[in-house]
Every structure is written in C-alpha cells, then in structure tokens.
Amino acid sequence: MKLRDKTVVITGAGGGIGAAMAVRFAREKPRGIVVSDIDAHAVADVAAQVRELGVAALQHRADVGDQRQVAELVAASEREFGRIDVLCSNAGIAVGMGVHAPAERWSAAWSVNVMAHVHLARAVLPAMAARGSGYIMITASAAGLLGLPGDAPYSVTKTAAVGLAEWLAATYRRSGVTVSALCPLGVRTGLLMRALTAGHPAARAVADFGPILDADEVADVALEGIADERFLILPHPDVAQLYAKKAADPEGWLTELQREGRR
C-alpha cells in the first residue's frame, strides 16, 4: 500500500521507531498522520515535525493498554481525517526480568505488548473490512520469532504479538485488510542503549545477534514493507536465516539461547 493521501495512525510515536516512522511517512504525503503516545509532550514534538513537512497531524495522548482510551483515539482520528487507512500499532515496553518478575510487571507487558494490539485491531477492523481496504502493522520484535534470554515477559508477549498478527492476516485477508508484523532486532533507542550500558543479558543477546540499527533505518524498511505488503517486515535480514535455523533445529536453538544468556 502506498501512503500518499492515506490517513496513518501511529501509536508509541513519542520516540524511537514510532517517531521515526511518523517523520519518514510524512515524506510520502499522506492525508494526515495521527501520532499517539502516553507521553503528551513527546508526541506534541513529533506532531510538530510532521507539520513542518507540510502534512496535517493530530497528536493524541493515550494509554493503549486501556480499551476505552483506544476507542477515544480511533474516534478522534476518524473525526479529524474521516477514516483510518493505515494503523501502526507500535507501542511496546520491556521488563528486563525473568519468569519471577512480579505479577504487575507481567500484567503491564501483556497489556501493552499484546492487548493494545487487540484493542486497536478491534477498533479499526469493522470499518476497514466494511469498505474492503485497510492496513495494520504490528510492531512485534525479532524476539517474537527467535526468543530472548533475560527478559521473560518481553520474549513471551512479543511472541504472542507475532501470533496475533499472523491470525489477523489469515483471517482478514479475504476482507481486503492487510496485516504485517514488524520484527526488528536491536534498534538504537533509549530502551536498548540504557540496558546495554547496564550490561543486561537480554540487551547483550540482542547486540550479539545482529547490528544495532538507527530508528530511521527501521522506518525506511517499514515503509518498504508496507508498500510491498509483506507479512514479516525484517529490518535485520539475518533474522530470516536465524528463524529458519530455529525451525530446523529447535534443540540446537535452545542451546544457542542458553549460551547467549550466560554471556
């Protein structure tokens, strides 16, 4: 799908990949871009950057783990631009703990990394399916394909996010709705770089699996993936080979993860 004259909604757009996508997508001259984040000040800055590129922007603060706030976000987007053509469900959080993470940390990861995608899909799919067109891109992670030592809630919920994207893609393709899963490895954002500085095993494993990309590079690949309507959008090409390696030899892959987790 081309973005020209389309309405794009991006969550988790206050920084990192979401902010980079908002600015990069604005260069494609969409009808408008809705930038949403839980950080109102950050998202206001991103919206200003979009407007500087000559594209209408709506900034909207929302906690996408809250179904009511998601409904308000979608309603505000439709009031402003008439319809939503492309949804980039991008918000996500890391926990940095193992299986013994407190229940509230598991709940938070599940809320943002899985249920936010569910809430958003449920909110936009009826209109998309009714008109026979629409695009949903879920930002999951290469961790959702490969696993990740050191952060159990992140690894588990990102795997669930990939599974949700796959289910939506198979179910709604006949309705004219395309669904993709964006699955980067390491990206140069505050989330990863702070963890690397602290020497966290999950961050070290991410860095060992492949190069760390800038968010702008990920945004470029995301745009190409949307244009090509690919299901798996992989900013790190090596992830495809690693995923195939895992499928061919699960026992060997577990050994590899164990090794990475001990570094």
Catalytic residues, by residue number, are: 154
Spatial neighbors of 208 by CB under 8 A, at least 6 apart, are: 260, 263
Alpha carbon 185 to its chain's center:
12
Instruction: Tell which residue, 86, 79, 63, has the closest CA to residue 136.
Output: 86
Residues 6+ away with beta carbon under 8 Å from 237? none
User: Both tokens of residue 36?
Assistant: 């949403």
Q: Which secondary-structure segment (H or E) carries 249?
A: none
Long-range contacts of range 40-45, CB-CB < 8 Å, 24 or more positions apart? 42/14, 42/15, 43/13, 43/14
CA–CA gap between residue 198 and residue 226 (Å, rounded): 35
- Give the three-class secondary structure for 230: coil
Contact assessment for residue 151 and residue 94, using Cβ atoms and an 8 Å cutoff: yes
Phi, psi at 235, each rounded to 5°: -60, -30
Phi, psi of 34 (to 5 degrees): -100, 120
